[in-house]
Structure 1
Amino acid sequence: MDQMYNFAQVANNCSQYSPYSSGMTNGTSDSAADCSCLNCQNFKEHHCQLDLYDKINENLTKYSSEL
């Protein structure tokens, strides 16, 4: 799977996802399309500081293989 897709899927399924505020007010809120580990406050130096990425990704992989 594509790494960027994984970052988005993990972030969409993470209860601790905390996006950086863009500071822009254009009348739209953050959408699911913008959701990614790469813009999460807990993701630093290419690593989830809460150690949740691998757990969530493993569960998503397991779930998708059961479908």
Structure 2
Amino acid sequence: MALMGKNKGNKTVTVQLSDETAAMIDRKLKQWSLKSRSEVIEQVLGWYVQPSDTKVARRRITELL
């Protein structure tokens, strides 16, 4: 990720993704009725880092993808 800027306590980053990953993010964007790709990424990362049980976190990520 390349740091591009800063806005209201948030950082703007540029990420290069495979076409498949970008398509998955776009599907989740619609399914979850979110407004931006960054919200999808924040949601997934939030689920990944919160649980103390690593197996639970991995299972949740696998279910999302």
Please report the TM-score for the alignment, with normalisation by the length of structure 1: 0.31
Which one has a larger percent helix, Structure 1 or Structure 2? 2
The structure where strand makes up a greater share of residues is: 2
- TM-score for both structures, normalised by structure 2: 0.32
Of the two structures, which has the highest relative contact order with CA contacts closer than 8 Å and spacing of 6 or more? Answer: 1
